[in-house]
Amino acid sequence: VFYFPVSEFNGFVIYFFAGYYFANFEISNKTKFILYFLAILSLAITVYLNYFFAIQSSGKAKALLLDYKLLTTMFATFGIFIFTKSLFVSFNNNGIFGKMFQRLSKLTLGIYLIHVGVIAIITKKFEITTTTINPIAMIPLMAFAVFVISAVIVFLISKIPILRKLV
């Protein structure tokens, strides 16, 4: 229903373009409001439809509506990005958290590039998915674990002189 197969963007590429645009250009308050509204609406639709389909399939949850190519996922991601950017625009970069964020920000492209592989390893090798336990708890836990594992891997790669330039 909400699938948006645009082969020109080939999946993840649209996120690169949107991230560049959102990071480098000022977003008007009206556009922010629209993106926030679409993000909240998208999250509500995703939760409701996943719940609805889980009931239809005898209570077993399925991650049908969590694909990155779905409009709902795209709008939620865009809204979260804009919100996070707005939240940290006036953040003090001199404190310990500022230094931590600066170091972490240098790793984000690498984290983004390898997180899909980390998810694949976790779900295939360890057979852990967002529906292993209650999705309300498992989705944030899985997201946090994937982020931390990806960050550690990219940090370690960044310490290897030959591979440093890749991440």
Rounded Cα–Cα distance for residues 11 and 4 (Å) = 9
The yes-or-no verdict on residue 167 having pLDDT over 70 is: no
pLDDT in tens, 61-120: 566 666 777 888 889 999 999 998 888 776 666 777 778 888 888 898 899 889 999 999
**pLDDT of res. 145:** 95
**pLDDT of res. 129:** 82
Indicate the pLDDT class of residue 1, thresholds 50, 70 and 90: very low
Residue found by looking up tokens 């939240």 in the block? 87
**pLDDT of res. 138:** 86
Are the beta carbons of 119 and 127 closer than 8 angstroms? no
Rounded Cα–Cα distance for residues 150 and 127 (Å) = 18
**pLDDT of res. 15:** 85
Rounded Cα–Cα distance for residues 23 and 13 (Å) = 15
The yes-or-no verdict on residue 8 having pLDDT over 60 is: no
pLDDT in tens, 109-158: 899 889 999 999 999 998 888 778 877 788 889 999 999 999 999 999 99
